[in-house]
Amino acid sequence: MEETLPLSIIHVNKSLVFTNRLHILLHSIALCFLFYYRLCFFFQNSKTRETPLLPYLLVFSSEIFLSFVWILDQSFRWNPIKRTVFPERLPENDKLPNIDVFICTADPTKEPTIDVMNTVLSAMAMDYPPEKLHVYVSDDGGSSITLNGMKEAWKFANWWIPFCTRYRVLCRCPEAYFSNSENDSDDLTKNVEFIADKRMIKEKYENFKKDIMRLKEDQDHFGDTSGITSQNHPSIVEVIQENSSGEIEQVKLPLLVYVSREKRPSHPHHFKAGALNALYRVSAVISNSPYTLVLDCDMFCSEPASARQAMCFHLDPKISTSLAFVQFPQKFHNISKNDIYDSQHRSTYKVLWQGMDGLDGPLLSGTGFYIKRESLYRNYKIKDTGFELQKYIGSSNEFIKSLKKNCTPNLVNVGNALPIEETLILASCNYENGTKWGTEVGFLYGTVCEDVHTGIMLNCNGWNSVYCDPPKPQFLGNSATNLNDLLIQGTRWSSGLLENGLRKVCPLLNCPLKVSLLQRLSFTYITCFPLFCLPLWCLAIVPQICLLSGVSLYPKVSEPFFYMFAFIYVSAQTKHLFEVLSTGGTLRTWIIEQRMWMIRSIACHLYGFLDFLMKEIGLREASFMPTNKVKDEEQTMLYQMDKYDFRTSNMFLVPMVSLITINIFCFIIGIYRVLFVGELDKMFIQLFLMAYIIVVNYPIIEGLVIRKDKGRISPSVVVTSNVLATIITCVLYPFIRKV
């Protein structure tokens, strides 16, 4: 019997694994010497030792915390792998499973309708049998602009999809395709028929965009007379299915469904997780596909092959029974060459997710994943009685029936009105009352990082995942390209991750023993890394203020332990540089990542931590604001010029500028002490630490004293920061000297 060829294979870079493990060993030995050096301090005579106890304890505590986080971080480097898929080995089209596509949008102002419709069109045009593809759009804002925009998109799809199919177009997002002439092969550019068709399709696309803009202008001019608001509207479910134009042949298009779940001010709506759960219920009685692709509204399908690539894993008999989802990396089309805000998250998708793939699989990333419908129902579908099921998933008989079928006929197409009536109930805000939705069934509630929470619990329940990172990006989106959006987004993520790490899950302690130790370490790192803010604030203040009074917290250059501290620093930086260069980065990328690590930790991680604490003690409720996707030409120009745009809230800028001010002031005093007191041997490490902080964060200094454009740091921030820096120094200086 001929052996079936595999649908995917795993590549293990043995030299990389060896290098990583050797580095872990050597760095761990150095950390042991560091702890030995620090602990020896406590055995000295308290009357004769020169260093005060309090600053020593603070710095030692910071080093312990950073070392613990480093240990957690090494779980990603223990067994990194890569995968290759073979879509050509999949079964014939008629044997492929159905796929539902979920696209979530919430605000047509911050998430422009034309961008959302481009995502919709790219999903409808994927290289997959159209009768097996069903596209659902969740409009949490209940906006008529989105609904009417989908109707216009359906009309344009009758032209766009046949064009893509006929000429095997790879980039199937219209906006991306028409904005880049390099999307066409050389053979097509010489084809007269293709050129004429492309010109015609482009004209229709321009008209399509004008129609979308007209919808927005009419809304702005006449207003919404229905009384519907984004937080107060009934459930709406509509199948977009109009007759196509007679100008072209009739084509088969994927099913397109508009869903706006009911929202009332008196009912919690649970943000994106609530919207996805509503889509899961609605789609179950319409298409009930066994697999679902989840996309953000700005994350369009850049390549049409992602569905077939995902099926190479889901249809693999060796892993499919325990496979919950296939995660693709988030990549972005609006990133500049140098990516000054580290918006591409290189370390996450090139190091962390690949490392987790070598364990039990990565976590959900919120978008770009193909998930098995069954995995989110846990094991409740196998219960015998309808009464037992109703306690978990609600009272809808149609929905309960869907659990016993892998795929139902498309009842909408045969004129049966029952599914639409039932979907309105399934999308109502009262349907989940008294059920386990959001706690044990579906995407989990209680945090704005529902993807991380759900991914961890899937793994705890015995499901695995895989990471697919093909050479060409399958999905491209818009990333934050200004400091304000980046820090707001980072604050929201930090708060949500800490909710998972410290309250919801606590992976290191609460995950079942069947979850491997390395996997638990990786979960703990991801959910707790915002706590970086605590040791970084300490190391950005305490050694600096100690230097003012000549207090040394580190060994002298002439002492043997100096080389141990130097080795730890060089080891960490060299490993980071190696990872950056080996994953396509540059020396400048290496510096930018360190800078943004400091900025995020000092600003958004701090506020995310405070936000988490306030929610824990009941002073604040969870909230979610979508990132602004509207382009700002001035901000874009600064970004392309590699200029940081410091037009953000003072609450973010003041801490950063205050710490830079303290470090510059103390560095100047340190230079004085070196030149006139002769303390270079004693204070070298503290001086080097300040110089490192100042050099890495030079753009902040540039924004303070050099730049004159609108993106500079405003004088009011400088004044407030100087006052705060003075207060911190004056309060801590005498206190640290005495204790």
Annotated catalytic sites, by residue? 140, 451
Q: What's the rounded Cα separation, in Å, for the pair 293 and 301?
A: 11
Burial class (CB in 10 A: 0-12, 13-18, 19+), 594: middle
Residue from 617, 615, 699 nearest 653 by CA? 699
Whole-number Å distance between alpha carbons of 553 and 544: 10
Instruction: Quickly list DSSP for 606-634.
Output: HHHHHHHHHHHTTSS-----PPP-S--HH
Residue of 419, 621, 387, 477 whose CA lies nearest to 103:
477
Dist CA 683 CA 674 (whole Å): 8
Could you tell me if 606 and 655 are in contact, meaning their C-beta atoms sit under 8 angstroms apart?
A: yes
- For residue 47, give the 3-state DSSP assignment: coil
Cβ neighbour number for residue 474 with a 10 Å cutoff: 22
**Sheet strand arrangement including 475-477:** 300-301, 475-477, 331-332
Crossing angle, helix 53-73 and helix 14-40, to 10 degrees? 160
**Edge-to-edge strand ranges of the sheet holding 464-467:** 236-239, 255-260, 133-139, 99-105, 291-296, 369-372, 323-327, 464-467
| Cα–Cα distance measured from residue 401 to residue 254, given in angstroms and rounded to the nearest whole number | 24
What one-character DSSP code corresponds to residue 549?
Answer: T
Cβ contact 283:460 at 8 Å = no
Count, residues in the chain: 739
Cα 459 to Cα 375: distance, rounded to the nearest angstrom = 10
C-alpha span between 279 and 135 (Å, rounded): 11
Q: Is 254 exposed, middle or buried (0-12, 13-18, 19+ CB in 10 A)?
A: buried
